[in-house]
């Protein structure tokens, strides 16, 4: 009985040892296979390969990034510092005093015109002024209060009509002394200093009231109207500074207005900027290259565009360094940030291949056909 139990115990021990050895052998075999077969998304490169491929690695960290957006633009006159010279009554051009492109100062004569309507109103003014002078010198009692008020009112109305026609105070005073053949002639003067940008008339030409004869603009500060693509949905704040290039020269321009509608023909929206023209090197009509600069409001994870490659299933991926090898990590891409692209789906602090990713991807693709990655 005792012997039989001892034999059973011995057989049990032998079976246990056999099973344990078999399990250990399988574990060792699996470990050796795993050690010899690389991960399907991992590739190992020698230091010489990395040097030849000029592979660079950077630690992924949250940073603020800048972005530049280009838009074509055109230099235009400052609409708030320019005005149109136009007659206020049908007239005939008698003489020009300023030429196209000429810089004029405030108060300088621009053009002399003749109008029969002005001649008629000048005559009325002369009569009204003479009557007002006559009754105002009469002693009280010889003229009624009504006559005084009427004479004064007629004088003021006649004076205001000449002002409405664009005659200066000096020209109206000269109306009282000029010869009859000069009646009807009047001169338009520059109301501000600036350059003559347009000149749309000839001497002897008949012009209707309101027709533009000249455009005077102060060129010390000009406008630039940039055309942004309708797909560009960024809000450009007033006061932000942009860079513009004209004929190889660089200028800084300040955003002053942004349109909120899309042009039906060009499918673009206009952003208006103001640029200082202290050297008078800019002129309306010039074309400009405008560059808007943006900075991300918050720090983001971003990698150079060259760090992104496509995986076998078409998703974006980056290569993370882990224990000397390069592991492909799928990521989601976001905004373009100049030469960088915002990414998500990966943690900060890891080392990412920022240069030479294409070479690593090609080696990984080769490894898919050669299990030993030769």
Strands 66-76 and 91-96: unpaired
Q: Read off the pLDDT band of 66 (50, 70, 90).
A: confident
- For helices 145-164 and 116-137, give the axis angle rounded to 10 degrees: 150
Map tokens 């005939």 to a residue: 92
Identify the three-state secondary structure at position 302. strand
Cβ atoms of 373 and 325 closer than 8 Å: no
Identify the three-state secondary structure at position 109. strand
Q: Which residues contact 309 (CB under 8 A, 6 or more apart)?
A: 316, 317, 318, 319, 357, 358, 360, 361
How remote is the C-alpha of 127 from its chain's centroid?
60
CA distance 303 to 151: 85
CA distance 270 to 213: 28
What pLDDT, in 10s, does the model give residues 264-299? 777 788 899 999 998 889 989 999 999 998 777 788
pLDDT, residue 371, reads 42
Q: Is 138 exposed, middle or buried (0-12, 13-18, 19+ CB in 10 A)?
A: exposed
Q: Read off the pLDDT band of 233 (50, 70, 90).
A: low
How remote is the C-alpha of 258 from its chain's centroid?
9
Predicted TM-score (pTM) of the model is 0.58
pLDDT, residue 47, reads 86
Cβ atoms of 274 and 223 closer than 8 Å: yes
pLDDT, residue 262, reads 77
- The phi, psi pair for 180, rounded to 5°, reads -55, -30
Q: How far is CA 347 from CA 56, 252, 304, in A?
A: 19, 39, 16
pLDDT, residue 202, reads 93
What pLDDT, in 10s, does the model give residues 198-210? 898 999 999 999 9
Q: Is 125 exposed, middle or buried (0-12, 13-18, 19+ CB in 10 A)?
A: buried
The chain-wide mean pLDDT, for the chain, equals 84
DSSP for residue 54:
T
CA distance 282 to 246: 8
CA distance 212 to 86: 5
């Amino acid at each position: 009985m005792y012997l039989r139990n001892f034999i059973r115990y011995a057989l049990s021990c032998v079976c246990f040892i056999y099973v344990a050895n078999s399990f250990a052998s399988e574990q060792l075999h699996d470990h050796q296979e795993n050690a010899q077969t690389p991960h399907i998304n991992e590739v190992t490169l020698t230091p010489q390969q990395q040097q030849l491929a000029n592979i660079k690695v950077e630690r992924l960290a949250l940073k603020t990034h800048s972005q530049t957006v280009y838009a074509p633009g055109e230099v235009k006159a400052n609409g708030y510092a320019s005005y149109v010279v136009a007659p206020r009554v049908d007239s005939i051009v008698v003489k020009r005093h300023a030429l196209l492109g000429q810089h004029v100062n405030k108060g300088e004569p621009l053009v002399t015109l003749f109008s029969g309507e002005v001649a008629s109103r000048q005559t009325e003014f002369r009569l009204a002024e003479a009557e007002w002078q006559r009754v105002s010198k009469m002693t009280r009692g010889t003229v009624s209060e009504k006559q005084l008020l009427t004479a004064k009112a007629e004088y003021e109305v006649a004076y205001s009509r000449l002002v409405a026609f664009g005659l200066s105070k000096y020209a109206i005073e000269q109306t009282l002394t000029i010869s009859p053949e000069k009646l009807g002639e009047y001169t338009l003067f520059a109301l501000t200093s600036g350059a003559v940008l347009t000149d749309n008339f000839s001497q002897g030409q008949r012009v209707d009231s309101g027709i533009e004869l000249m455009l005077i603009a102060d060129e010390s500060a000009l406008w630039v109207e940039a055309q942004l693509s309708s797909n560009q949905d960024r809000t450009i704040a007033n006061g932000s500074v942009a860079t513009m290039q004209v004929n190889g020269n660089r200028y800084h321009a300040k955003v002053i207005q942004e349109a909120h509608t899309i042009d039906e023909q060009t499918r673009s929206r206009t952003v208006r900027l103001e640029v200082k023209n202290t050297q008078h090197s800019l002129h309306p009509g010039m074309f400009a290259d405008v560059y808007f600069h943006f900075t991300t409001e918050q720090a983001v994870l971003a990698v150079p565009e060259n760090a992104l490659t496509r995986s076998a299933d078409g998703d974006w991926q980056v290569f993370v360094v882990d224990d000397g090898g390069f592991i492909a990590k799928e990521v989601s891409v976001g905004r373009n940030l100049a030469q960088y692209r915002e990414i998500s789906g990966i943690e900060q602090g890891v080392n990412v291949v920022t240069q030479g990713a294409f070479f690593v991807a090609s080696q990984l693709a080769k490894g898919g056909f050669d299990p030993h990655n030769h």
